[in-house]
Amino acid sequence: MRLALAAAFAVAIAFSLPACGALDGMNCTEMACSDAVSVDFEPAFSEPGAYEVAAAWEGGTLTCAVTLPAGSPRADECESSISGPFPGEVVLGGEGHEILRGVWVRSAPPSIEITVRHEGVVVASSRLEPSYRKHHPNGEECDGDYFCRVSQTKLVRE
């Protein structure tokens, strides 16, 4: 019985290898991706207290509130005009999540306005024009024309 199961398994594997491209050197996955812009704050914010991070671009908004030290990487509360899961979030750092490192948004606008408030006072504000690169989550040879646009940019403050 074991020999018959092993033989059946071997046959199933042999027939599935060509279908997934394993025999021709291609091994493509079907991972998806989303357009995104990530904005790093330089330097990061670390003063304790309440922060509000607002991002606005043509066609969308994201507003997140977080109090430092946050104690958890998911301590932010965000509201967005973007539909769907994970429209964006603030990026926290440090062992106790006591550093506000930046914000990311699930969109690829040509320009984005970022405003950071600490205890209600504007401490940083800038209009950024991110440069995007194509990201092929499964490899360019697998995705062909399928890609998402991603950017990592900085909001440098004094």
Look-up: residue for tokens 């006591």?
Answer: 98
Residue 68 β-bridge partners = 49
Lowest mean pLDDT among 16-25, 63-72, 133-142: 16-25
Q: What is the pTM of this model?
A: 0.75
Percent of the residues in the chain that have a pLDDT greater than 70, as a whole number: 80
Beta strand extents in 58-120 (DSSP E only): 60-68, 77-80, 88-93, 99-105, 112-118
76-108 residue pLDDT tens: 788 887 766 677 888 888 888 889 999 999 889
Contact 83, 149 (CB under 8 A): no
Q: pLDDT tens for residues 44-55?
A: 999 999 999 999
How far apart (Å, rounded) are the C-alpha atoms in residues 114 and 156?
A: 11
Mean pLDDT of the chain: 81
Write out the H or E segment, with its range, that includes residue 133. Answer: strand 133-135
